[in-house]
């Protein structure tokens, strides 16, 4: 075999190996970009129901009384408006029970089936919560027995058909033995101003 034939064969082999490396590199580049794009898209497309059902209160408990109330109002808004399965309802009810004071939860009759019946009736009667606002957090106090109490006012707009009525909710929260703010209860009053 002549020297020029040998160098031609070696040159051809080197070029084929180089081309294979380039093709493999381009393939890997596109494959990685595709998987990153899918992950981002999945995160961006979580439904409101999924955002609540995936909350792990043991890892990310709301730190202040207003954020606890915000989670309650957001969950009720979703329960009244969105579509969800029985399993998803159970998970949302678990999130709600996780932000309720143990004494408050103990006196709730038929929890969570009572909540489910109430929500189903409201949905059937065309009620929804189009928006809410957590307005104030004040009157944090420490009682003689050492309990820490906070009041939070939230305005929750309740729509029935095409008519919306704003209600003021005064939530009372108590800090538990682990330092977490829990809802003890609330009072409701219809807003007296004519603004909507």
Instruction: Express each pLDDT in 32-61 by its tens digit.
Output: 665 554 554 455 688 999 999 999 999 999
pLDDT at 11 (0 to 100):
75
- Which pLDDT value is given to residue 155? 95
Q: What is the pLDDT of residue 5?
A: 74
pLDDT (mean) for 4-23 = 74
Q: What percent of the chain has pLDDT over 90?
A: 62
Highest mean pLDDT, choosing among 10-19, 44-53, 76-85: 76-85
- DSSP annotation string for 66-106: HHHHHHHHHHHHHHHHS---HHHHHHHHHHHHHHB-HHHHH
Name residues whose C-beta falls within 8 Å of residue 30's C-beta, 6 or more positions apart in sequence.
none
Return the pLDDT at 44.
65
* The pLDDT of residue 168 is above 80: yes
Give the Cα separation of 176 and 60 in Å (integer): 16
């Amino acid at each position: 075999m002549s020297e020029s034939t040998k160098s031609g064969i070696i040159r051809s082999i080197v070029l084929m190996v180089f081309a294979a490396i380039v093709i493999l590199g381009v393939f890997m580049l596109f494959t990685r970009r595709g998987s990153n794009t899918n992950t981002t898209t999945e995160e961006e497309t979580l439904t409101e129901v999924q955002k609540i059902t995936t909350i792990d209160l043991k890892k990310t408990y709301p730190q202040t009384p207003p954020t606890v109330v915000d989670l309650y109002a957001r969950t009720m808004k979703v329960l009244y408006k969105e579509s969800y399965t029985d399993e998803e309802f159970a998970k949302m009810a678990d999130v709600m029970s996780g932000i309720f004071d143990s004494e408050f939860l103990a006196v709730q009759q038929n929890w969570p089936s009572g909540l489910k019946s109430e929500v189903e009736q409201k949905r059937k009667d065309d009620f929804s919560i189009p928006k809410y606002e957590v307005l104030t957090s004040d009157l944090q106090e420490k009682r003689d027995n050492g309990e820490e109490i906070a009041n939070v006012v939230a305005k929750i707009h309740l729509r029935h058909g095409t008519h919306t009525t704003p209600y003021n909710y005064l939530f009372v929260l108590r800090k538990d033995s682990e330092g977490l703010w829990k809802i003890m209860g609330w009072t409701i009053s219809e807003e007296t101003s004519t603004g909507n």
